[in-house]
């Protein structure tokens, strides 16, 4: 089969959107002939990787609207405009390629967001949209804890979602998809409302077997002190202020809470730790190289991921692969990744309720090493069975064959 993939973000050796793009196209090439539309910005990194480790059946077409090759890091307005223009250019390039190659199916891979169109859906072949996400929102009671700037961010995000949902081309993308994949049920509801007829919930985040093996080598440390860890950017919607309060309420003298990452909430979190009288028990490590971060994970007992509107991500998967129980909110992507066997999911209705329930979960896991061990083993099993890139590649290979066969039966 000949597959066309649209992967605006696609770079080897990276996480986030770039990692989703790269791993998706590599897995697809194991089963089909693959052509990938991506940014010229990633060309050097991709060609260096392919020169070192060639991959059969994988062809890249690099494009940039108006010749823009900027990173756009930290410039949301610039990157969103660029992304929209890139999607338009991608359609015209894809249409020309289709006339020459004759693709069997097309799929939008990145960005993983539901409120922008994918114009390759206009090609006269079956189209798979996603997985796409971004339909989640922090429950309104939690906004009371946010700074004025954070509230502006959430308001702007809310309006961007609503404007995107009303975009005629985004709705066209939803309607023309033979299958729309959403990372969470929150996004699935919004995609259905846009006109998608066949919607399923599926994660965009996976780990390779090599990553699972490396993480599985993280032996559980001794019981003194008990260490809780959070990994990620220190942003308001990541909910670390709630975890700091919960750790203080749990009142565990023989415990530490490590925060890995940097961001605008760092000073606020430090002040909060001092205010709660636990600054000696909280360690801010800042942003560390990946291997050092995973080393710190190995020195910890429990991963806390208190995000208020994540679509997915790798943090919980890495924690489970390392055999660590997860404490998270029953919201967004983490809610689909973590089960009652692999961690504790706390309801997210109101800040006071959430903090008290987080504190109870923290204290419970601190006092029960057997439970930590049992949840850790269950997490490793779940990641291996559900969140393996190889499993994902096989799933999509079969999915594409089934969709094309169904379309042929209709003719």
> Is there a single domain that holds both residue 397 and residue 356?
no
> Is there a single domain that holds both residue 260 and residue 190?
no
SS3 state at 108? strand
CB 7 within 8 A of CB 21: yes
pLDDT exceeding 70 applies to what percent of the chain? 98
pLDDT level of residue 303 (50, 70, 90 thresholds): very high
pLDDT digits (tens, 9 = 90+) for 259-283: 999 999 999 999 999 999 999 999 9
pLDDT digits (tens, 9 = 90+) for 306-346: 999 988 778 999 999 999 999 999 998 899 999 999 999 99
Number of domains observed in the structure of the chain: 2
pLDDT level of residue 76 (50, 70, 90 thresholds): low
Structural domain including 277 reads 209-386
CB 323 within 8 A of CB 359: no
Helices 240-250 and 351-366 pack at an angle, to 10 degrees, of 60
Per-residue DSSP letter, 329: E
User: What are the C-alpha distances in Å from 339 to residues 239, 263, 387, 402?
Assistant: 20, 29, 13, 30
Q: Which residue has the higher pLDDT, 301 or 220?
A: 301
Which residue, chain included where needed, has tokens 């997210």?
A: 348
Shortest CA distance to 109 belongs to which of 398, 392, 405, 390?
A: 392
> Is there a single domain that holds both residue 165 and residue 274?
no
> Is there a single domain that holds both residue 356 and residue 393?
no
**pLDDT the model gives residue 47:** 96
Which range has the worst mean pLDDT, 18-22, 271-275, 288-292, 395-399?
Answer: 288-292
pLDDT digits (tens, 9 = 90+) for 42-70: 999 999 999 999 999 999 999 998 877 76
> Is there a single domain that holds both residue 131 and residue 179?
yes
**pLDDT the model gives residue 77:** 55
The Cβ of residue 260 has, within 10 Å, a number of other Cβ atoms equal to 22
Q: How far apart are the first and last CA of the chain?
A: 18
Q: How many Å apart are CA 227 and CA 256, to the nearest integer?
A: 5
CATH number of the domain bearing residue 82: 3.40.50.2000
> Is there a single domain that holds both residue 255 and residue 336?
yes
Q: How many Å apart are CA 199 and CA 364, to the nearest integer?
A: 38
> Is there a single domain that holds both residue 34 and residue 145?
yes
Which residue, chain included where needed, has tokens 């610039």?
A: 78
**pLDDT the model gives residue 312:** 78
Residue 302, both tokens: 């429990």
The Cβ of residue 271 has, within 10 Å, a number of other Cβ atoms equal to 11
> Is there a single domain that holds both residue 99 and residue 196?
yes
> Is there a single domain that holds both residue 6 and residue 59?
yes
> Is there a single domain that holds both residue 232 and residue 166?
no
User: What are the C-alpha distances in Å from 405 to residues 99, 127, 398?
Assistant: 21, 14, 11
The backbone torsions φ and ψ at residue 62, rounded to the nearest 5 degrees and listed phi first, read -100, 130
> Is there a single domain that holds both residue 44 and residue 189?
yes
**pLDDT the model gives residue 223:** 82
> Is there a single domain that holds both residue 248 and residue 359?
yes
């Amino acid at each position: 089969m000949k597959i066309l993939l649209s992967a605006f973000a696609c770079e080897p050796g990276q996480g986030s959107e770039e990692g989703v793009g790269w791993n998706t196209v590599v897995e697809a090439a194991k089963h089909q002939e693959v052509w990938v539309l991506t940014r010229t910005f990633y060309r050097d990194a991709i060609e260096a990787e392919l020169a070192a480790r060639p991959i059969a059946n994988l062809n890249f077409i690099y494009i940039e609207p108006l010749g823009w090759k900027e990173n756009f890091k930290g410039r949301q307005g610039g990157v969103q405009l660029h992304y929209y223009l890139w999607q338009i250019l991608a359609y015209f390039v894809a249409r020309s390629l289709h006339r020459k190659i004759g693709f069997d199916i097309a799929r939008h891979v990145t960005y993983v967001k539901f409120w922008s169109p994918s114009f390759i859906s206009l090609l006269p072949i079956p189209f798979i949209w996603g997985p796409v996400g971004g339909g989640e929102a922090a429950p309104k009671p939690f906004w009371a804890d946010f700074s004025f700037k954070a509230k502006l961010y959430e308001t702007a995000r809310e309006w961007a979602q609503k404007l995107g949902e009303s975009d005629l081309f985004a709705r066209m993308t939803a309607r023309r998809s033979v299958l729309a994949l959403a990372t969470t049920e929150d996004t699935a509801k919004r995609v259905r409302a846009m006109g998608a007829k066949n919607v399923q919930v599926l994660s965009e985040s996976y780990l390779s077997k090599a990553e699972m093996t490396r993480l599985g080598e993280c032996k559980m440390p001794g019981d003194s002190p008990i260490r809780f860890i959070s990994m990620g950017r220190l942003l308001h919607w990541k909910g670390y202020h709630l975890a700091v309060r919960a750790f203080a309420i749990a009142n565990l003298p023989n415990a530490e809470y490590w925060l890995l990452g940097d961001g605008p909430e760092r000073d606020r979190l430090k002040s909060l730790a001092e205010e709660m009288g636990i600054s000696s028990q909280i360690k801010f490590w800042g942003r560390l190289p990946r291997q050092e971060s995973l080393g710190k994970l190995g020195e910890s007992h429990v991963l806390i991921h208190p995000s208020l509107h994540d679509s997915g991500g790798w943090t919980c998967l890495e924690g489970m692969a390392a055999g660590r129980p997860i404490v998270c909110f029953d919201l967004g992507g983490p809610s689909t990744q973590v089960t009652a066997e692999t961690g504790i999911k706390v309801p997210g209705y109101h800040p006071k309720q959430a903090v008290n329930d987080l504190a109870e979960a923290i204290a419970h896991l601190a006092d029960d090493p057997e439970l930590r061990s049992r949840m850790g083993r269950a997490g490793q099993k779940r990641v291996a069975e559900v969140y393996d890139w190889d499993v994902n590649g096989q799933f999509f290979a079969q999915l594409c064959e089934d969709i094309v066969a169904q379309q042929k039966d209709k003719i």
